């Protein structure tokens, strides 16, 4: 027994790497489909989109890049599916120049699933330098003034989707999918002034800080990490990437917990031995 505990405390990190690899790969190959419970903060985002009148406009800010794709991309897909299913119009953009292709792919792929027409049902503004200044411009001078051309270089002012929705104050809901601090930009320069409703999604490591944003009413709900995305997939009844990923996350969390407990047992056993 003491030999095992000694080995545990000196465990080679390569063993941990192999165990984590297996904990991730096996559940992805053989899914467990464990039931996911939906948290109220995720339900709030779903309910807001669900209760908007058909044909409302949702602004989807996809402020992430490939490094956080596993968590935030499934959220974007799930929210888009929900919006298009409800016949809402979607305007997408990103503050992250390295994420511009992800936003485009999510919008075009999901729009194709629901036979939506570009320029009428959805629009992708892409990326432009400026950060908060863009939000001010979209609020004061209009979306077409801030983005005279879309991601593809087409003129935006004449597009049917921007005929009624000209300024930020006209949008019905803004969903901010953030891998960084862009939620502040949307709140300070957008929501505070133009009074639109705002919800969002963030990476797992950011989720702890977003509970505060919920409390102080910056957002009315949010999806935290892969779990949040999986909960949203459950709500729209379309299990996809996030639900499959949750099995891998489940097993790897359990493995890490087991290793921490074993590591502590080994630590105390070795310490007690050293004291004798």
Partner 1 sequence: MDQFKKLAPLIVAFVMGVFFGLQYYIPHPFTDDLLTGMSKWFIVIGGIAMGLGIVSLFYSHIYKIKRRAPAWGFSFVMFIALFTMLGVGIYCANAEVITETGKQTIYGWLYQSFMVPLQSTMFSILAFYVASAAFRAFRAKTKEATLLLIAAIIVMFARVPMGEAIYAQIPTFQVGGMTIPPTIGNITGWIMKTINMAAQGGISLGICLGVIAMSLKIIFGIEKSYMGSTK
Which positions touch partner 1 (CB under 8 A)? 11, 13, 16-17, 19-21, 24, 32, 34-37, 39, 65-70, 98, 100-102, 104-105, 128-134, 136-137, 140-141, 152-153, 208-209, 211-212, 215, 227, 246-247, 249-257, 259-261, 263-264, 267-268
CB of 254 to partner 1, least distance (A): 6
- Specify burial of residue 157 (Cβ count, 10 A radius: 0-12, 13-18, 19+): middle
CB of 161 to partner 1, least distance (A): 21
Closer CB to partner 1, 131 or 160, in the complex: 131
CA 40, 46, 50, 51 torsion-angle sign: positive
Q: Provide the 8-state DSSP code for 187.
A: I
Q: Is 61 strand, coil or helix?
A: strand
15 C-beta neighbours (distance < 10 Å), count? 11
The tokens describing 67, both together, are 């490094």
CB of 63 to partner 1, least distance (A): 15
The tokens describing 227, both together, are 């779990």
CB of 132 to partner 1, least distance (A): 8
Residue in 41, 52, 43, 44 with CA at minimum distance from that of residue 173: 52
Closer CB to partner 1, 52 or 188, in the complex: 188
Closer CB to partner 1, 105 or 164, in the complex: 105
Closer CB to partner 1, 1 or 12, in the complex: 12
């Amino acid at each position: 027994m003491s030999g095992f505990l000694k080995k545990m405390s000196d465990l080679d990190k390569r063993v941990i790497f192999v165990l984590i690899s297996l904990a991730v790969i096996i559940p992805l190959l053989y899914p467990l489909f464990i039931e996911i419970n939906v948290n109220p903060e995720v339900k709030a985002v779903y309910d807001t989109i669900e209760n908007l009148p058909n044909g409302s406009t949702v602004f989807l800010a996809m402020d992430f890049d490939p490094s956080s794709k596993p968590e935030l991309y499934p959220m974007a897909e799930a929210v888009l599916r929900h919006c298009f299913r409800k016949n809402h119009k979607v305007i997408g953009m990103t503050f992250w120049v390295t994420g511009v292709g992800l936003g485009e792919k999510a919008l075009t792929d999901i729009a194709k699933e629901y036979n939506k027409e570009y320029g009428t049902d959805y629009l992708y503004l892409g990326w432009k330098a400026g950060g908060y200044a863009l939000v001010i411009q979209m609020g004061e001078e209009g979306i077409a003034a801030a983005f005279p051309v879309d991601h593809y270089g087409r003129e935006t002012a004449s597009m049917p989707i921007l005929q009624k929705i000209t300024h930020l104050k006209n949008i019905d809901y803004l969903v901010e999918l953030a891998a960084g601090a862009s939620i502040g930009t949307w709140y300070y320069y957008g929501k505070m002034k133009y009074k639109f409703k705002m919800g969002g999604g963030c990476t797992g490591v950011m989720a702890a800080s977003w509970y505060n944003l919920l409390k102080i009413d910056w957002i009315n709900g949010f999806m935290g990490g892969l779990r949040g995305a999986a909960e949203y997939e459950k709500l729209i009844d379309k299990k996809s990437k996030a639900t499959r990923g949750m099995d891998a996350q489940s097993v790897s969390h359990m493995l890490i917990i087991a290793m921490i407990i074993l590591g502590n047992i080994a630590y105390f056993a070795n310490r007690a031995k050293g004291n004798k």
